[in-house]
Structures are given as C-alpha cells and as structure tokens.
Amino acid sequence: MHRLGTDDTTAINTAWTSGGCTSSQWLPIGKALISAPIWQIIAGCPAVSNSGTGYQAQRIWGTSVTGTYIIPVPSFNFASVLGGGSPTCVSANCTAAIGNPNISDYENFNVWDWENVARSHCQYYSWDIGASTRAINTNGIGWCGSNNQA
C-alpha cells in the first residue's frame, strides 16, 4: 500500500496472482486506492468448498479494521465488473469489484466510501463473498446507502 493518491490496483493484483491457488495477502496499515477489480479468480484453482479436503484456500488479511482501507477511486472502471449485480452470479465468468467466491477468509480491513464512487452504479456486483467464505472484522462502509452491503 502506498501513500494516498497512488493507484494500488496493479500492485495488489500482481501480488495476488503471483501467490497462486494458496495466495495469502496481508495488507499493512494504510489506504490503498483501486481503479479496477482486485482479488479475482485465478484460473485452475479449486473452489473454497474443497477446504475440507486439505486445500488451503486463498485469504486476505488487513492489519487493523480501523487502519487498513481499500478505497475505490472516482474513476473506478465499472465496465470491468461483470455480473450486473446478480446475487446468484457465482460462476467464474462473473467479476466483482472486490474478491471472488473462492476466497476462504477476509479479515481486519474496510472497503471505504464506495457510495461516493458508485452511487449511480449500485446495480454492479460489488464484493464477492462465497458460501464458504468467512468475513471477520470487515465492512463495506458507505456502500450505496448501507453500512454493509458485502
């Protein structure tokens, strides 16, 4: 994560894909700006539902829920988000702005100020939390009029 004003999308996604199917990404205290989807499905990785068979699925940890923030920029590329906001969009051809259904853990970070960026885009698929995903100390603050629309 860099100083406020730097687009961290490429750095986050490069670190994510280089970790492969068992990627674990730790976010330090600070603010990261994103302009396109992050933490997407990595081709060839098993689903998180395979965790019970010994597969250690992907994880994302922040340092502190009050100090680690992901912030979409006003120029966020909504054309890169596929799925049209459908809550049933869980296949590999759906792209949320943040995450994918194969992530097993989200912990200790906030996605901040989505409403100011996405007010006219609330129909888009925002934060993907799969059926087997655990989310602890996370929040999507200001997401289209709700404190938590993850």
Q: Given this model, what pLDDT does residue 19 score? A: 87
Q: Given this model, what pLDDT does residue 148 score? A: 39
pLDDT digits (tens, 9 = 90+) for 50-71: 555 566 778 899 999 889 999 8
pLDDT digits (tens, 9 = 90+) for 94-150: 677 888 878 888 999 988 766 555 556 565 567 777 777 888 888 876 655 443 333
Q: Given this model, what pLDDT does residue 146 score? A: 44
From the list 96, 101, 76, the residue with the least C-alpha distance to 86 is 96
Buried b / exposed e across 32-62, counting CB within 10 Å, b at 16+? Answer: bbbbbbbbbbbeebebbeeeeeebebbbbbb
